[in-house]
Structure 1
Amino acid sequence: MNANEPNFFRDQAVIADPRSYFDLMRERCPVSREAYEGTLMVTGYAAALEVLNDKEGVFSNAVSVVGPIPPLPFEPQGSDITGQLEEHRAELPWSDHLVCMDGARHAEHRAIVGSLLTFKRLRQNEDYLHGLADRMLDAIVGKGVRNIVPEYAHATTVYAISDLLGIPLEDRAELLELIGAPPSQIEGDAVHKIGSDPLVFLKERFDGYLRDRIDNPRGDLMSELVAARFKDGSQPRFEDLSGLARFMFGAGQDTTSRLIAMGVQHLGEDKALQAHMRADAKAIPAFVEELLRHDAPVKAVYRLARRDTRIGDIEVPAGTIVTVCLSGANNDPEHFAQPHDFRPDRPHVRDHMAFSRGAHACLGAPLGRMEARIAIERLLARTSDIVISEAHHGSPENRVYRYEPTFSFRNLADLHAELVPA
């Protein structure tokens, strides 16, 4: 073991500064085995693209969310573990959800979600998002130092996906509390030990919503979901529709909340950037893209090698868990010049992999981009300054921010700032 290698899955220093870790591993080799859980860390852009664009089904998504923790429920044997994986798939966390499906099952369920999240549907939601952002800002602009993470970033995205799905108004505040902060991966929260469905706590509620839509359809996304059919005309099982509804709710607020919070942090730290974005709203979409590239809400996704293969020149035995470091690829100097510089005018910025690539690229990317853009547009329009609280985060020369203890995601735990009215 290299004594100088931090533990990606446990070290608080990596939680605080993941880019330095990715730089260290990439300099060793863009594809190299880490010393603690035995996963293969892919930190180079080209190598990450190769894995994510896998068209042969060599890499399974079965471990996509949690990687090597908990470990596989079987000991991989031989040069092809496909049979073992299918035998034990139901024992893996998230296995009932879209993000961890493979092959035809994944394609069928993904097609249903894709048919719902249309450009027309998102455009219809845009006016609501403007009004929502303003209502959230009414409560915090000019009200002294506020915690931007729960009071603006998280609240905005939970209410946004709730409106899109058609969740009753009277339930939305309670759901905001229920979904809460992400679980601590490095401290082993029980949510990762309860079997295939960590969203089971939402099941009874969402089952009720969907049964109501079967009897009383209306013009919302859940009504369209219960009416959806597979391409062959067959009807999905109710349990599958329930899983899709819960996954869309969870995923639909999660990453965008992180993105908005990071955007406010950048604006508060860089007064010149803040002034430029406030003066030119047309620059905000590029600002959002650079946020996604520079410090993505999802640090890494995971793949399981079904059979012996290679990534570039590196041998990958069947049963290897591959950690595809999206943030590592997004900060690869072989692809992005001076990657640690934050440059909203960066050429080809949308080459980033913040929404992954390939068959599992995020279907909600257009919605996330729109929500983040509108949240930042309205914030800048309603304020004359965003001032980071020195009482909470220290002086500009000695800032301290807390990040949620997760190895997969990049989450500000809190962001205290004063929003000075325009």
Structure 2
Amino acid sequence: MAEPGSTDGVFDPRHAHRDDPFGFFRDARCTRPVFYSESLRAWCVTRYDDIAAVLRDQDGFSVREHNPRPTATLPPEVEHVVAAWRGDALPLGSLDPPEHARVRAVVRTGFTRRVIGNTEPRARAIARRLLRRLAAGPAFDFAEDFAKPFTLMVVLRVLGIPTSTYQRFDTWTDQRIRIMTAREDTDPEVLRACARGLADYGAFAKRLIAHRLLRPRDDLISALVRDLPVRQAIAQVPTLITAGYRTAAETLTTTVWNQVRAPGGWAAVVDGSVRVDDLVEEGLRYDCPIFGMYRTALRDVEIGGTRVPAGSRVLLAYGSANRDEARFPDPDRFHPGHPTPTPHLAFGLGEHFCVGAPLGRMMLRVALEEMRTALPRLTPADLSEPTYHPTFPFRARQSALKILTTAPEVKA
């Protein structure tokens, strides 16, 4: 049994392993499936079965601090905003039992089959409008011009927020992630600007809840106001917006990228050789937008034969679990439709399984179906390997995925 303090000594999520952490974790699954990372200041769990066991153990692990922590020393005014921007209540993803079940029951009303079914026609209309404009030009930036605006506008529709205001939410999301993943070389002035944006995000949530208190509607925000204390309703708003759209947008971008490079390419989607539902699930498995989430050990525990002390931070590496050779055949190959009895962990598992998964799946499916019709000759302008932002465990492309709307002519 490994002892506390044993360390990898080499995992470098900001540089060497920033763009492609999969090879490092493939080796770790074989040689040190649970290891301590100095760079993350956390124990990393790499194998599917070990991660699933932790996710099911609500008594042994807390989700209260499931997001990454900055390793930089934040300026005092930034620390103050981080502590206070959404009040004194916690969002759903940071709640332990029994409070988690109560809040989740309310939030889940926004993602029922009926709600998703009613939302789908609106999602198609948004996708068609965006794609009609983009298809008229020679090329576009897939993430910035389609994936982000599409997913964000759909989420805002579900929440009952005007879609014309979508751009500010994308800025606020970037600022929130920048603070959570700040490192020692992050410019303090950049952090102060991000904190101002975060304060604006919190102020928006408070105004929105106050408005719904006076004028309730048939939407999820009104359900929060009706069934939760005001302070708890406010805390849910930013997470419902940010988590609802950004993960779907990143998944859509990487899924399209991986499919155009796979055998058959985009043409296999257009002619039906690759089913859209299969493409959605393989996109989520192969390169999920959140490589992992943190837990805190509430007692001394043993994970995969390694002793982890009480109070330790534990990173559950979903991206590694989704390529675990013991669970997925040929896991480093992108192959939609290949049968596997194991569900991927892109949405987690157990009591904290992503409550918005039905909406996320619907958005991905609708986007790909509408793209298949609007852009039958979709072609990437550049097939070089993408670069990613240094925001581990969030997987976000830094290099643009430029899409040509018609395939270039092949010279004889």
Taking structure 2 as the reference length, the TM-score comes to: 0.85
Do the aligned residues in 1 keep the contact of 2:175 with 2:194 (CA within 8 Å)? no
- Which of 107, 114, 121 is equivalent to 1:113? 107
Local SS of the residue matching 1:351: coil
The whole-number CA distance in structure 2 between the counterparts of 1:321 and 1:271 is: 40
- Corresponding residue for residue 61 of structure 2: 59
The whole-number CA distance in structure 2 between the counterparts of 1:64 and 1:179 is: 17
State the shift of 1:174 in Å: 4.0
State the shift of 1:178 in Å: 4.3
Do the aligned residues in 2 keep the contact of 1:97 with 1:197 (CA within 8 Å)? no
- Which of 340, 364, 386 is equivalent to 1:401? 386
State the shift of 1:35 in Å: 4.2
- Which of 2, 6, 22 is equivalent to 2:10? 6
Relative to 1, partners in 2 of residues 1:349 and 1:155: Cα closer, same or farther, differing over 3 Å?
A: farther
Deviations along 1:366-410, one digit per CA (max 9) or x if unpaired, are 1101101111111111112222113xxxxx4xx131212211111
State the shift of 1:415 in Å: 1.1
Moved more, 39-48 or 109-118: 109-118
The whole-number CA distance in structure 2 between the counterparts of 1:317 and 1:146 is: 50
Relative to 1, partners in 2 of residues 1:138 and 1:251: Cα closer, same or farther, differing over 3 Å?
A: same
Local SS of the residue matching 1:224: helix
1:24 aligns to 2:18 (yes or no): no
The whole-number CA distance in structure 2 between the counterparts of 1:317 and 1:197 is: 37
The whole-number CA distance in structure 1 between the counterparts of 2:329 and 2:294 is: 26
Local SS of the residue matching 2:275: helix
The whole-number CA distance in structure 1 between the counterparts of 2:195 and 2:92 is: 12
Q: Give the 5 Å matches for 1:323-362.
A: 323-348=315-340, 351-362=343-354
- Corresponding residue for residue 53 of structure 2: 50
Q: Which amino acid counterpart does residue 142 of structure 2 have in structure 1?
A: I
The whole-number CA distance in structure 2 between the counterparts of 1:379 and 1:118 is: 26
- Corresponding residue for residue 150 of structure 2: 156
Relative to 1, partners in 2 of residues 1:168 and 1:47: Cα closer, same or farther, differing over 3 Å?
A: same
Query: Percent identity between the aligned chains?
Result: 26
Kindly report the root-mean-square deviation, in angstroms, between the aligned alpha carbons of the 2 structures.
3.0
Q: Which amino acid counterpart does residue 16 of structure 1 have in structure 2?
A: D
Do the aligned residues in 2 keep the contact of 1:31 with 1:41 (CA within 8 Å)? yes
Do the aligned residues in 2 keep the contact of 1:289 with 1:349 (CA within 8 Å)? no
Do the aligned residues in 2 keep the contact of 1:47 with 1:311 (CA within 8 Å)? yes
Do the aligned residues in 1 keep the contact of 2:175 with 2:195 (CA within 8 Å)? no
The whole-number CA distance in structure 1 between the counterparts of 2:13 and 2:267 is: 38
The whole-number CA distance in structure 2 between the counterparts of 1:144 and 1:111 is: 46
The whole-number CA distance in structure 2 between the counterparts of 1:31 and 1:93 is: 35
Relative to 1, partners in 2 of residues 1:222 and 1:329: Cα closer, same or farther, differing over 3 Å?
A: same
Local SS of the residue matching 1:255: helix
- Corresponding residue for residue 251 of structure 1: 243
- Corresponding residue for residue 410 of structure 2: none
Deviations along 1:335-392, one digit per CA (max 9) or x if unpaired, are 11110011112213661101011221100111101101111111111112222113xx
State the shift of 1:297 in Å: 0.8
- Corresponding residue for residue 416 of structure 1: 402
Task: Show structure 2 runs of 5+ residues with no match.
Answer: 74-81, 408-412
Relative to 1, partners in 2 of residues 1:221 and 1:197: Cα closer, same or farther, differing over 3 Å?
A: farther
1:319 aligns to 2:311 (yes or no): yes
The whole-number CA distance in structure 1 between the counterparts of 2:247 and 2:127 is: 17
State the shift of 1:317 in Å: 0.9
Do the aligned residues in 2 keep the contact of 1:93 with 1:198 (CA within 8 Å)? no
Local SS of the residue matching 1:14: coil
Do the aligned residues in 1 keep the contact of 2:248 with 2:360 (CA within 8 Å)? yes
The whole-number CA distance in structure 1 between the counterparts of 2:192 and 2:85 is: 7
State the shift of 1:248 in Å: 0.7
Q: Give the 5 Å matches for 1:236-315.
A: 236-270=228-262, 272-280=264-272, 283-315=275-307
Do the aligned residues in 2 keep the contact of 1:182 with 1:404 (CA within 8 Å)? no
Moved more, 402-411 or 200-209: 200-209
State the shift of 1:92 in Å: 11
Relative to 1, partners in 2 of residues 1:273 and 1:194: Cα closer, same or farther, differing over 3 Å?
A: same
Local SS of the residue matching 1:323: strand
Do the aligned residues in 2 keep the contact of 1:92 with 1:196 (CA within 8 Å)? no
Deviations along 1:78-124, one digit per CA (max 9) or x if unpaired, are xxxxxxxxxxxx96999722212212222221121113321111110
Local SS of the residue matching 1:13: coil
Q: Which amino acid counterpart does residue 237 of structure 2 have in structure 1?
A: A
**Count of residue correspondences:** 387
State the shift of 1:282 in Å: 7.5
- Which of 349, 357, 367 is equivalent to 2:359? 367
Relative to 1, partners in 2 of residues 1:300 and 1:8: Cα closer, same or farther, differing over 3 Å?
A: farther
Task: Show structure 1 runs of 5+ residues with no match.
Answer: 72-89, 229-235, 391-395
The whole-number CA distance in structure 2 between the counterparts of 1:170 and 1:194 is: 23
Do the aligned residues in 2 keep the contact of 1:68 with 1:321 (CA within 8 Å)? no
Relative to 1, partners in 2 of residues 1:43 and 1:193: Cα closer, same or farther, differing over 3 Å?
A: farther
Q: Which amino acid counterpart does residue 246 of structure 1 have in structure 2?
A: P
State the shift of 1:17 in Å: 0.2
State the shift of 1:265 in Å: 1.0
State the shift of 1:224 in Å: 2.3
- Corresponding residue for residue 95 of structure 2: 101
Relative to 1, partners in 2 of residues 1:410 and 1:249: Cα closer, same or farther, differing over 3 Å?
A: same
State the shift of 1:182 in Å: 6.7
Taking structure 1 as the reference length, the TM-score comes to: 0.83
State the shift of 1:298 in Å: 0.8
State the shift of 1:29 in Å: 2.3
Relative to 1, partners in 2 of residues 1:352 and 1:240: Cα closer, same or farther, differing over 3 Å?
A: same
The whole-number CA distance in structure 1 between the counterparts of 2:356 and 2:96 is: 19
